[in-house]
Amino acid sequence: MARSPLLDIAFGFMPAQIIYTAVELRLADALADGPRTAGELAERTGAHAPSLLRLLRALTVLGAVRQTEPDRFALTDEGRRLRGDAPDSIRGLVGLFCAPEVWRSWGELTETVRTGEYAWERVTGGTPFEYFARNPELSATFNAAMAEGTRDVAPAVVKAHDFGRYRTIADLGGGDGTLLAEIMSAVPGLRGVLFDLPAALERAGRTLDEAGVADRCEVVPGDFFEAVPEGADAYLLKSVIHDWDDEKAADVLRTCRAAMTPGARVLIVEPVLPPLVTPEFRGALMSDVNMLVATGGRERTEAEFRDLLAAAGLRPVSVSDRLEPTTYRIIEAAPVEAAPRP
């Protein structure tokens, strides 16, 4: 009888936790200067050498390290991405999505599906952002993960939309400014406003400086449920709306609407689910279930986005094609009373 491919999925928690443990121990950083034995790595990471050897052998078959001798290991090109200083690092993403809080929330998936009540609050006693406020280390991991995820899609966002139409763009929930810096670098003269909670903005100065756009960008701390900066030509929301249920998502959009002039635009950058899903939407659908257990939010279809915009006094102007190879699209919206631009 053929082995079921569903078994590999069911056992997927094993490699996930092996990679997460490597991240927690900072193994990739310990291997940055060349191959090491398990004993040498144990001294550098504070681990138990015999147990670490077993972990390293498992990391070998997962492709993160290469076994050069029976007790000697080196980083692979893919394993290098677990280093904190790698330009294409994924350490934050692994650290966030395999963290104990996320792990326990996913363990409550059955109860969440039965009740419709998201698990994170049951597990931690608060919303994700309330929990991050009490746990600075996990908050920093979250912010790093968001920057890593944005880094990969940012060039496609710049290519898919004419940002040269605007004089000022406000990136709401923009974290360290990864996306805004990419846009401003591509559009000389464009001014930016980076807006997020104070903890999310801690690395923004460095990101904007490195991109050479700090002199054109204002960094503003705040809460988009209360108010957002007025006067921008475009309000950018990337991977923000999916964090919230329809009521809260509409509240965010209403806050934007209150700050907008008639000619301003809202730009929502998120995956858009098709009415009938296909395999290429695997990542977006896994994200949708993650929102189900972790935030109470959701990924949405184009029709669901249109309903959400209408509830906030906005109307869709355009919806881009998919930002290949992702399932992200850019939804441009305007105030309902604004006449279409010629």
Q: Looking at the annotation, which residues are catalytic?
A: 242
Dihedral sign for Cα 107, 108, 113, 117, please. negative
DSSP-assigned letters across all residues of 275-301: SS--GGGHHHHHHHHHHHHHTS---EE
Query: What whole-number distance in Å separates Cα of residue 22 and Cα of residue 92?
Result: 12
Q: Which residue do the tokens 């069911």 mark?
A: 10
72: left (phi over 0), alpha (psi -120 to 50) or beta: beta
Helices (H), 127-215: 128-134, 136-160, 178-186, 204-211
Dihedrals phi, psi of 299, to nearest 5 degrees: -85, 155
Distance CA 287, CA 308 (A): 19
Q: What is the rounded CA–CA span in Å between residue 184 and residue 214?
A: 10
Sign of CA dihedral 88, 92, 98, 102: negative
Beta bridge partners of 222: none
Structure tokens at 183: 């846009």
Q: What is the dihedral of CA 251, 256, 262, 263, to 10 degrees?
A: -130
- Candidates 234, 219, 249; CA nearest to 330 is 234
Instruction: Give the integer Cα–Cα distance in Å for 297 and 242.
Output: 5
Name 282's Cβ contacts closer than 8 Å, sequence gap at least 6: none
User: What is the rounded CA–CA span in Å between residue 74 and residue 283?
Assistant: 30
